[in-house]
Amino acid sequence: MSQRDRIVIVGGGIAGQAVAEALRERDPHVGITLVCGEDALPYDRIRLSEILVDGSDAATLALRPEEWFGDHDVDVLLGRWVEGGDLDAGVLTLDGAEELRFDKLVLATGSQPLLPPIPGIGLPGVHPFRDPADCDAIRASAASATHAAVIGGGLLGLEAARGIAAQGCDVTVVHLVDRLMERQLDPVAAAMLEPALADLGINVRLNAATQEILGGDRARGLRFKDGSSIEADLVVVSIGIRPEKTLAETLGVATRRGIVVADSMRTSHDRVWSVGECAEHAGMVYGLVAPILDQARVAADTLLGRTAAYTGSILSAKLKVAGIDLVSAGEAEGDTAAVVSDAAAGTYRKLTVRDGKAVGAILLGDVRGAEALVAAVRAAEEVTDPLEALAAASAAGPADLPDEAQICNCNGVCKGDLVAAVEVDGCTTPREVMARTRAGTGCGSCKPAVIDIVAMATGGLNEEPAYLCACRKQTREELADQIRAQGLRSVSEVAQCCGTGRDCGACKPALAYLVSEVNDNRHREERHARYINDRVHANIQKDGTFSVVPKMRGGVTTPSELRRIADVAEKYEIPLVKVTGGQRIDLLGVAKEDLPKVWRDLDMPSGFAYAKAVRTVKTCVGEQHCRFGLGDSMGFGIEIEKAWEGLHTPAKVKAGVSGCPRNCAEATIKDIGIVAVEGGWQVRIGGAAGASVREADILDTVETKAEAMRLSTTFLQYYREHADYKERTYDFVPRIGLDEIRRIVTDEQLGAALRERFRLAKAATIDPWLERDTPYHPRQFTDLDQQPEPTVVVGPPEEARR
């Protein structure tokens, strides 16, 4: 194509944007104009489901930032509508008058939501679910609605229902046929989906043909064909799409259900192509992103005069409903199928085979191996034993996937692309790979798989240096050496001599920890290097207020403490008082400027609930009260908390002490857990039950409390000195290896040195809430238009400033 040729793309949806990108990747010169009917730059429509749940701003959905279009020389016309034109003359008419010249034209006009022609469809309170305005309208209605109904039990209808349920509104999905998602699921899987939805507050009504939306001034309910009805003051309609072919028809391009295209993605007119939800290929109109991206690549090739053919797509879908894992690909039913199902656990895994080839997969509740199975279906792989194939998939690691296995469905990124980003483009971290390939930037559900593959391609994430400062590629060890060698005592000094933290600031908290750790807590504290939580010693909330958790060692409190907490909560009108999962009390919603006053009135030390520090030592009642108790877990827990409290750690550290192996303090899932056993104490490390669940490893079983304390404290210090910032013990312990840790912490000399450094660091800790009287700056807690409290210095300021 010659340099001045201009391709005009009508429609700035995912399809239009994909064509523009694919063209620019292939040809740096061809003129590209993207006409967007909507007022916004192309955005990620599929993430509207997410926005419906959390109400965030649609501006966050942009597929590319504004600069991208300038950088890539793509002209964009926003909020402009193409009304017609003359194909042979190569001109389009925009908004009535203006003309736009083109050499080749791509129709990416997408689709409109299908609305059934039933009475009441135009009533207020009835919404489709297609664009940001619909999202806003549904959220606004949900806020005041008492009952909502979603007509349509497909993928999108269920996502809409989830969004409404998340607003706390009762919702019923009404579906015409006898099972949900009939295009993706077989009857068994569809039936298993219902209880999972019920858990999320979503009711389902099947075999329900809606005949009328009831109500006079606004929607009040639905009436069905069988005469029954339900109440609904919010109705979302999600029964399918209607390809937008008005423009194509005006221009005289052939259409059936959609705009008819050949394998080249060309329409009946040789200057006109069509891609996306408006296009009909081989009798199919696709309503998912992955096929659209395939089409866009073919269209870009053929637009530039290369040969390429689109041969249709095997559909695969993921339900984007938090709490339900569901992946499906290809056909839901076939001649032969292997099914592995556990009704009690709500899991269902099925691989369907025809003529010895994989043609469909359904994974519900347990989606292990989804990428491998979906890849097998897409490639129609030979399968001799489907049951075996299912089992192999659940054990498959990233290495077993073929290069063509699509990992990110939203952006059509395959395993091979991820590996190339590492091997060819030199990316070393998942973050870099995601930025380069855009994998994981759509709905985000593929991120864990991306991380696994990058780990594989880089030869293991653990072996790759974990940079403390990614901008300047400095590791923790290198920086620690510098700090030691040059006697650096503050973050600014390190910044001055190494540049660390000057370009982006992301590493400053890690650096602040390192400086304090290397100096045994005798560093020069600089608050600008700390997260806001550590600047004001409270946990920031989504609305910018803070939560306050006073120390309550071992979960044990007194009437007088409880009385003070109650008084403070009333005096400062604290909106929420909550018992935490860590055996203490949380006062939530405190304004920043009230923090010092709240601490003063509480007169309790900080619980460090906001910091990377020793958090809680959870205890059970133990030997003193419990008929099974073998040791004084409560007393011991309190002792441990006193011994460790106030110490900052690479990531938060949670501990627990149980009085017997019944383990009511859940010590086996703590970073450090101690369990009283017959004749002694078992010391465990590296446990967790948060985002990752890991049973703590047994470090040793010792006879006395003193030994248990010594062993666990030695481990704590070893962890403080050797873990990467934000590395919890559940990653640290397996990374170093239990045997190696045991060797070090039980070594006479090494152990003694660790304990000595621990003693020094601990001796320099103080209760940060004392800054209520000795703030590090007069405006520590106040904004510029607030009056700071006059400072009353009562403590030794040098110490309080730590």
Partner 1 sequence: MTLACREDDVPPGEGRNITLEGTRIAIFRTDTGWYAVDAVCPHRGGPLADGIVCDHAVTCPLHDRAFDLRTGESPSGDRVTVYPVEVRDGEVYVEVVRAPVAA
Ligand X SMILES: Cc1cc2nc3c(=O)[nH]c(=O)nc-3n(C[C@H](O)[C@H](O)[C@H](O)COP(=O)(O)OP(=O)(O)OC[C@H]3O[C@@H](n4cnc5c(N)ncnc54)[C@H](O)[C@@H]3O)c2cc1C
Which CB atom, from 310 or from 599, has the smaller least distance to ligand SRM? 599
Is 689 among the residues that bind ligand SRM (CB under 6 A)?
Answer: yes
CB nearer to partner 1: give 473 or 779.
779
743 touches partner 1 by CB under 8 A: no
Among 196, 613, 688, 709, binds ligand SRM (CB under 6 A): 688
State the sign of the Cα–Cα–Cα–Cα dihedral 172, 173, 177, 179: negative
CA–chain centroid gap for 448, Å, is: 10
684 belongs to the binding site for ligand SRM (CB under 6 A): no
Which residues between 88 and 127 bind ligand X (CB under 6 A)? 108-111
Residues 519-548 touching ligand SRM, rule: CB under 6 A, are 539, 541, 547
Instruction: For the CB of residue 567, give the shortest distance to ligand SRM in the complex, in Å.
Output: 21
CA distance 380 to 359: 6
Q: At what angle do helices 633-644 and 705-722 cross, to 10 degrees?
A: 40
Q: Which listed residue (104, 127, 130, 476) binds ligand X by CB under 6 A? A: 130
Residues 430-449 that bind ligand X (CB under 6 A): 443
Applying CB under 6 A, does 252 fall inside the site for ligand X?
Answer: no
- How far apart (Å, rounded) are the C-alpha atoms in residues 18 and 297? 8
Q: Which of 219, 215, 254, 251 is nearest to 234 (CA)?
A: 219
692 binds ligand SRM (CB under 6 A): yes
Choice from 616, 668, 682, 713 touching ligand SRM (CB under 6 A): 616
- The smaller minimum CB distance to partner 1, of residues 497 and 504, is found at 504
Phi-psi region for residue 96, left (φ > 0), alpha (ψ -120 to 50) or beta? left
Strand locations in 57-159, DSSP E? 74-78, 82-86, 91-94, 98-101, 104-107, 111-113, 126-128, 147-151
Per rule CB under 6 A, count of chain residues that contact ligand SRM: 20
Question: Minimum Å distance from CB 531 to partner 1?
Answer: 7
Binding of ligand SRM by 595 (CB under 6 A): no
By the rule CB under 6 A, 181 interacts with ligand SRM? no
Using CB under 6 A as the criterion, what x/- string covers residues 141-170 for binding ligand X? ---------------x--x-----------
CB 349 within 8 A of CB 363: yes
State in angstroms the smallest separation of the CB of 151 from ligand SRM.
Answer: 37
- Please state the closest distance from residue 607 (CB atom) to ligand SRM, in A: 6
Neighbours of 744 (CB within 10 A): 16
Stretch that binds ligand X, among 33-41, 62-70, 559-567, 658-666 (CB under 6 A): 33-41
Q: Mapping DSSP to helix (H, G, I), strand (E, B) and coil, where does residue 364 land?
A: strand
Please tell me whether residue 277 binds ligand X under the rule CB under 6 A: yes
Q: Which run of H or of E encompasses 6?
A: strand 6-10
- Site membership for partner 1, residue 81 (CB under 8 A): no
**Can you tell me which of 6, 72, 81, 524 binds ligand X, judged by CB under 6 A?**
81
Query: Smallest distance from the beta carbon of 151 to partner 1, in angstroms?
Result: 31
Beta carbons within 8 Å of 700's beta carbon, 6+ residues apart: 682, 683, 711, 742, 746
Query: Would you count residue 591 as binding ligand SRM (CB under 6 A)?
Result: no
Q: In the stretch 517-546, what mask flags binding to partner 1 with x, by CB under 8 A?
A: ---------xxxxxxx--x----x-xxx--
Classify burial at 122, counting beta carbons within 10 Å of its beta carbon; exposed 0-12, middle 13-18, buried 19 or more: exposed
The CA-atom distances, in angstroms, between 729 and each of 339, 344, 670, 675, 685 are: 38, 33, 9, 18, 7
- Nearest partner of 709 among 781, 657, 767, 769, judged by Cα: 657
Q: Does 54 bind ligand SRM (CB under 6 A)?
A: no
Task: List strand residue ranges (DSSP E) for 669-801, in order.
Answer: 672-677, 680-685, 688-689, 693-694, 697-702
Instruction: Report in angstroms how near the CB of residue 638 gets to ligand SRM at its nearest.
Output: 15
Instruction: Give CA separation, 613 vs 164, 636, 751, in Å.
Output: 38, 19, 21
Note the residues at the interface with ligand X (CB under 6 A).
10-16, 35, 37-38, 45-46, 48-49, 81-82, 108-111, 129-130, 156, 159, 244, 247, 276-277, 287-290, 292, 320, 443
Given the rule CB under 6 A, which residues bind ligand SRM?
539, 541, 547, 549, 578, 580-582, 584, 586, 609, 615-616, 654, 688-692, 728
